[in-house]
Amino acid sequence: MFKGPAPDLQRSHTTSEYACPSLSTLPPDVLIQIQTFLDPDDIISLRKTSKVLCTITKLRIVWINTLHRVCLMHGINLSTFYPLENISQIELEHAAFSPFRFIKYAEDIIPSEGDSKSVVTRILEPRLPPVFSTDENVPFSCDTVLLIPGGRFLFTDTIQHGVPLWDLGIHPGIPMRLSPLAVLPTTMGSFVRFTSPTPDGHGVYVCIEERVNLNMNTRVSVYEIYPSSPDVAFRLTHSLKVKGTLSNAYIYRNTLACSHQNNLITVWDFVQNKAISWEYNAVVRPNGVILFTETLLFVEFGKFSVWDVPSSLYLPVSDDMEAVFIRLLPRSEIHTPSPAESLRVSPPSQWLSAGQSRLPFFGLCSAMPDEQGEELDELNASMRCYTFESVPSLPDSPKSQVFDPQQVGVVNSFPIWTMSENFLRHIRFCGKSLTVAWQAGDDVNIGLMKMPQGDPDSIATPATRRLFNGEEGTLRDFDFCPAAGRLVVTMATGDIRIMDFLTPPTPVSVQCFQHSSKVTVHAP
């Protein structure tokens, strides 16, 4: 007796969509999960393939996930876009595309010679009372600007007005707040050493260095602040005293490493307030201290000394006291390819540690010999790019993670003006490229280069563009965030200019700002 087709054949005959499976036939939650691994332009490509995928790619959760991934890849502080309920769908998509848009803008629109034009330029003229003076008319004078990656939040380091935190808005279509979110009172002789992200990616650590006595000892204090929290305030973690002045300092997550007077290295967990110091043997002043997990790289002339510093070695310390002194020897020494050429080594930006597998990395800058190999080129240098390579655990510390530096590429024709102690604080990931900005006189320039891919002999040459052309003697400091396409400069006149090079997601309405802020809009 005929019983009909086999069940599998019958199902394929009656349910035609299973006969030719495709991406659009997957459940929505699976499609959402797949898109968490895609770049924004890939999601837009999916949007054009079918009606189902078009609907899925427009879901808000898709772009929240995409923006989170972009932030991790580019070291962007997550507080930039919080609270998320205040961000519209179009702003989510705009923010996710911004790093990729800036690279295209810089390559195609900014002229290689001549002035570039920002879409919107706003001028902030702070009018704040001084923190330790009775004279209310003390003019606002800003020495340093520190733009948190993402471009929204700005710290200004001043002489008499403390360290204010400003909210500039996530794009130029949003008016910036004309009063600071919070102000950290500081004393004469103190300054912001650097900023870095909290381990959760939503907060900011602010490292303050201060001279404390006639012996020129230094107090290092680390504050944390969460710019998008309902109660924005600077909170002191702990303070530590070190001998002399800090020649190098670096934060990895919640641990600070530094070198200082008397040939000492100090490593300090400023959250648990545990620290150790030990003596190193070096003839010349070291160029840098770089910490990654439990490995410390001590950068000397032409070589790296590799130290294993497990957290189990840290000892409790009281506030404003010195770290406990121990004896510690390096695990190994690694010589650079051309030790005679080495000029300066700087650690990577603290913000780069958010980029997971691609990071951290750092550059070894060395002067380039001329064609005869005899004299040094006065205008150019090279930057050797490194990453950290995991090595087998030590027999006596099987649970510890140890690493060695590994060269992954070389950038040639690097401008010599970048040879400052902290030049790499301006290096950023942008799309699939790297950007580094530097000050040359009263100009701000930017170099664009391809990401090193792992070949130690691969050579890249940056394309140079000028972002800002200032008048002589007017530019004090700058900071730049390519992820937002935003440049901030502080001028000798006391005002702060915020220059945006990317058009906002909605048309900018020119409105009358209060007397302490001005805005200039240029055609895109």
Q: How many whole angstroms separate alpha carbon 165 and alpha carbon 158?
A: 11
Confidence (pLDDT) at 358: 45
Q: How many whole angstroms separate alpha carbon 415 and alpha carbon 413?
A: 6
Residue 175 contacts residue 160 (beta carbons within 8 Å) = no
Confidence (pLDDT) at 524: 36
Per-residue pLDDT tens for 246-267?
878 888 889 999 888 788 899 9
Confidence (pLDDT) at 21: 55
β-partners of residue 219 are 210, 241
Give CA separation, 384 vs 14, 338, 509, in Å. 62, 11, 45
Sign of CA dihedral 276, 281, 283, 288: negative
Confidence (pLDDT) at 373: 46
237, two tokens: 């973690």
3-class state of residue 35 by DSSP: helix
Hey, what CATH topology would domain 23-108 get? Answer: Monooxygenase (1.20.1280)
**What's at 325, amino acid-wise?**
F
**What's at 82, amino acid-wise?**
Y
Residue 280 pLDDT > 70? yes
Q: How many whole angstroms separate alpha carbon 106 and alpha carbon 446?
A: 9
**What's at 211, amino acid-wise?**
R
Number of C-beta neighbours around residue 219 at 10 A: 18
Confidence (pLDDT) at 452: 67
Closest CA to 242 of 282, 270, 205: 270
3-state helix, strand, coil in the chain (%, to 5): 20, 40, 40
Residue 363 contacts residue 411 (beta carbons within 8 Å) = yes
Q: How many whole angstroms separate alpha carbon 445 and alpha carbon 418?
A: 10
What DSSP string describes 85-105?
GGS-HHHHHHHHHHHHHHHHH
Residue 371 pLDDT > 50? no
Q: What is the mean pLDDT of residues 149-172?
A: 91
Give CA separation, 229 vs 68, 327, 458, 502, in Å. 18, 43, 44, 27
Q: How many whole angstroms separate alpha carbon 79 and alpha carbon 116?
A: 30
Q: What is the mean pLDDT of residues 388-402?
A: 68
In the chain, pLDDT over 90 holds for what percent of residues?
22
Q: What is the mean pLDDT of residues 312-320?
A: 89
Q: What is the mean pLDDT of residues 282-295?
A: 78
In whole numbers, what is the pLDDT of the chain averaged over residues?
78
Closest CA to 279 of 320, 330, 244, 218: 330
pTM of the entire structure?
0.84
**Residue 239: pLDDT band with limits 50, 70, 90:** very high
Domain chopping of the chain, boundaries: 23-108
Whose tokens are 């899925």? That residue is 56
Residue 495 backbone phi and psi in degrees, to 5: -85, 160
300, two tokens: 């000397």
3-class state of residue 394 by DSSP: strand
205, two tokens: 């650590």
Confidence (pLDDT) at 416: 58
**What's at 321, amino acid-wise?**
M
Residue 470 contacts residue 489 (beta carbons within 8 Å) = yes
Residue 202 DSSP one-character state:
S
Strand 361-369 relative to strand 402-415, pairing: unpaired
Residue 231 pLDDT > 50? yes
Sign of CA dihedral 299, 305, 308, 313: negative
Closest CA to 480 of 519, 416, 417, 436: 436
Confidence (pLDDT) at 418: 52
Residue 409 pLDDT > 80? no
3-class state of residue 509 by DSSP: coil
Tally of residues, the chain:
524
Residue 443 pLDDT > 50? yes
64: left (phi over 0), alpha (psi -120 to 50) or beta: alpha
Per-residue pLDDT tens for 448-486?
887 766 677 777 777 888 888 887 678 888 999 988 999
- Between 27-31, 51-55, 477-481, 512-516, the lowest mean confidence (pLDDT) is in 512-516
